[in-house]
Amino acid sequence: MKIKNRLAFNFSLITAGVLLVILTVIYSVFYSFVKNDFYEHLKDRAKVAAQLYLEADEISTDSLGHVRERYLDKLPEELIGIYDDATNRL
């Protein structure tokens, strides 16, 4: 194999390896950010839903509807349920 071809082959391998490592790091950082962000939003939604569930009898229905519209974004076919430790619906 000529030196020119060997150098081009080695350069291609090194460049591909470095690019693969960089893209893997970028993917893992982005994945962990999106995952953490999703679970933080899910935790916030659960806290608001639990507070609404626990205080539903203490506030008026108009206020309850306003809080639900303001803080709980509607998702298609969304069902809100409260579960205990044994995953029984309350």
- Asked if residue 86 has pLDDT above 70, the reply is yes
pLDDT of 36 higher than 70:
yes
Task: Over range 38-49, report the average pLDDT.
Answer: 82
Where are the chain's structural domains?
3-71
The label of the residue with tokens 């619906």 reads 89
Rounded to whole angstroms, the Cα distance separating 86 from 44 reads 22
Please check the confidence at residue 37 and state whether its pLDDT lies above 70.
Answer: yes
Q: DSSP readout, 27-56?
A: HHHHHHHHHHHHHHHHHHHHHHHHHHHHTT
Q: State yes or no: pLDDT of 74 exceeds 70.
A: no
Q: What is the mean pLDDT of residues 6-22?
A: 97
For the chain, the average pLDDT equals 83
State whether residue 75 is helix, strand or coil: coil
Q: What percent of the chain has pLDDT over 90?
A: 39
Please report, for residues 8, 27, 63, the alpha-carbon distance to residue 19 in angstroms, rounded to integers and kept in the order given: 16, 12, 54
